[in-house]
Amino acid sequence: MIDRILFNGHIHTLNASLPHATAIAISYGRIVAIGTDDDVLPLATAGTIRQNLNGKTVLPGMVDAHVHWEWTSKAMHSVDVETSTKEEALRRIADYAAGVPDGEWITGWGWAQDLWPDRAFPTAADLDAIVPDKPVFLRAKSGHAAWANTLALQLAHVTGETPVPAGSDVMLDTSGEPTGILLEAGAIDLVDQHVPPISAERLAYMMQVAQERAHKGGLTGLHDFDDPSCLYALQILRERGQLGLRVLKQINKDFLPAAIESGIRSGFGDEWLRIGNLKMFADGALGPRTAYMVEPYENEPENYGIVILDKEQMYEAASAASAAGLATTIHAIGDRAVHDVLDVFESVREEEKQRGELTSQRRHRIEHVQIIHPDDRHRLAELDIIASMQPNHATSDWSVADRWWGARSQWAYNARLQIDQGVKVAFGSDSPIEAIEPIPNLYAAITRQDRHGMPEGGWYPESRLSIDEAIRGFTLGPAYAARLEDRLGQLAVGYLADLVVLDRDPYAIDPSELLAMQVLATMVDGEWRYTTID
């Protein structure tokens, strides 16, 4: 039985054998026929729903290959401090705090001191002046720093004498006391562990709210990088039939021993929720200047960034994971971090070769590849490593990158370099660090400009992508990374009926129009999850 036929559409299939079609027949969540209206409409039976697309454009469902899904869901229920000035951030915090009961923590995210006029880190004293009697804990936009008030530091017992985990830092003032800024996960966790956790049920509810936003943006799936608490909530939604996104769940390093002991392998699960890779951090981020660099930051001759895990630590974990059937993905932003990660993967690939394994059996990834040293530019291709990148970071960070990396920025945020060498590229948003909607990301990839058209002509315009390359980064790339390329990423017979309907054809419009393009409907598993069409 044919459940539904979509016809009179303008369909980009991304299937090389049939690039364009006008009609799709769907049965039990899969595509059973695709072609012209004359080919497909005669397949309808008495119970088939026939839906006229009136010439609207259809693409395969888009998948965000790098999301912090728990963090994204929680961020929609906390104070937003992504502002152009510290003063505006403080005003928002004060307004939000007025509605928070005594004794409860105030949490939020989004601040970025490099985007404020004085570019100075904020302090606990700034927060104490407006909220002295409730603990405040605010993550930076980069995710690699946090800002806390004095009460939060006191509740966490953080002082100038507190031992700080390696690869992180508690900033101190001239008297040796914490300023309120915590750099990297080890230091951030000193306070974060005291923030009362929410229940899995509550988190599942927050995810449902976030899922609605994802569907409205045209997403049909995501790759998550948060802790097992995220997996608990996802399983609740899966059991109840409420999970409407296909999720690839990565495993953070602290949980690798448990994963190996359980015998779990990459690809375990179903088409809704499956296990991806081991996830590790090599370094920090550009915003707090903790990305690990070959040469120091401009005007900071002593600052090379922070090493979170050294090569030996990364190799030990990646080697053990590979032997146990788990691929690895490693966050690397600075060029020295990328270099070290490539060295690790080179060693692990040699071990896999000795075991007679193909590179496609372990789909290792580097997350961000934010800046690469020119000497390493060919190595992802040579080692068959997936480049998981976020085009919108380039248009958010270009002025900061120019300030701290100078001329090296020609090698930064450069998906063009990887694609030209045949590297498999998967694009994402890094939500909530950037907006989860993929259309602004497509715009960023092909214009290298922000929403205001800056920089004029595009930042390193030679690195711009075509619209087809950008769309493939949100479809075929994530499908390959999730080992789902035989059923996702394109619209073809036998593939899952995940697709998005747009109000205009991105292949036919001027790039400047992309930001005005609207998602009209999103289908996952043959069901409309969001729709404005009849």
How many CA atoms, within 13 angstroms, populate the side-chain half-sphere of residue 239? 8
Task: Show the DSSP H helices in 170-284 as ranges.
Answer: 184-192, 200-216, 228-239, 256-262
Give the bridge partners for 58, in sequence order. 11, 501
CA 336 to centroid of chain Cα atoms: 22
- Reported as a pLDDT band with limits 50, 70 and 90, residue 99 is confident
CA distances from 404 to 185, 391, 457 (A): 22, 19, 21
Tokens encoding 261:
């002991």
Residues with Cβ within 8 Å of residue 265, at least 6 apart in sequence: 275, 324, 325, 326
Q: Which residue type does 305 have?
A: G
Distance of alpha carbon 164 from alpha carbon 144, whole angstroms: 15
What's the mean pLDDT in 114-119? 90
What's the whole-number average pLDDT of the chain?
96
- Reported as a pLDDT band with limits 50, 70 and 90, residue 13 is very high
Percent of the chain with pLDDT over 70: 100
CATH class name, domain 74-192: alpha beta
CA distances from 367 to 328, 380, 425, 475 (A): 10, 12, 10, 17
10 Å CB burial of residue 278 (0-12, 13-18, 19+) is buried
Q: What is the pLDDT of residue 417?
A: 97
Distance of alpha carbon 12 from alpha carbon 374, whole angstroms: 36
What's the mean pLDDT in 260-268? 97
What's the mean pLDDT in 13-39? 98
What's the mean pLDDT in 126-133? 95
**Helix-, strand-, coil-residue percentages of the chain, each rounded to 5:** 35, 25, 40
Residue in this structure with the two tokens 């992802």, named with its chain if needed: 380
Tell me: the pLDDT tens digits for 221-254? 999 999 999 999 999 999 999 999 999 999 999 9
Q: What is the pLDDT of residue 305?
A: 97
What's the mean pLDDT in 20-27? 98
The arrangement of strands across the sheet holding 527-531 comes to: 20-21, 10-12, 57-60, 499-502, 519-524, 527-531
Instruction: Mean pLDDT check: name the lowest of 72-76, 231-235, 295-299, 416-420.
Output: 72-76
CA distances from 208 to 237, 428, 499 (A): 8, 20, 20
DSSP H or E run through 35: strand 30-35
Tokens encoding 225:
């990088």
What's the mean pLDDT in 423-445? 97
- Reported as a pLDDT band with limits 50, 70 and 90, residue 109 is confident
What's the mean pLDDT in 130-152? 94
Instruction: Let me know the angle formed at the C-alpha of 171 by 170 and 174, rounded to the nearest 5 degrees.
Output: 135
What's the mean pLDDT in 340-369? 98
Residue in this structure with the two tokens 């930042």, named with its chain if needed: 459
Tokens encoding 119:
């570019």
10 Å CB burial of residue 255 (0-12, 13-18, 19+) is middle
10 Å CB burial of residue 439 (0-12, 13-18, 19+) is buried
What's the mean pLDDT in 168-187? 94
- Reported as a pLDDT band with limits 50, 70 and 90, residue 104 is confident
Tell me: the pLDDT tens digits for 492-525? 999 999 999 999 999 999 999 999 999 999 999 9
- Reported as a pLDDT band with limits 50, 70 and 90, residue 491 is very high
Indicate if the pLDDT at residue 115 is higher than 90: no
Residues with Cβ within 8 Å of residue 14, at least 6 apart in sequence: 59, 60, 471, 472, 475, 476, 489, 490, 491
Tokens encoding 29:
């969540």
Q: What is the pLDDT of residue 63?
A: 98
Q: What is the largest CA-CA distance in the chain?
A: 80
- Reported as a pLDDT band with limits 50, 70 and 90, residue 1 is confident
Q: What is the pLDDT of residue 100?
A: 84
What's the mean pLDDT in 8-32? 98
Q: Which residue type does 323 have?
A: A
Percent of the chain with pLDDT over 90: 93
- The domains of the chain are located at 74-192
Indicate if the pLDDT at residue 102 is higher than 90: no
Indicate if the pLDDT at residue 371 is higher than 90: yes
Q: Angle between the 200-216 and 228-239 helix axes, to the nearest 10 degrees? A: 80
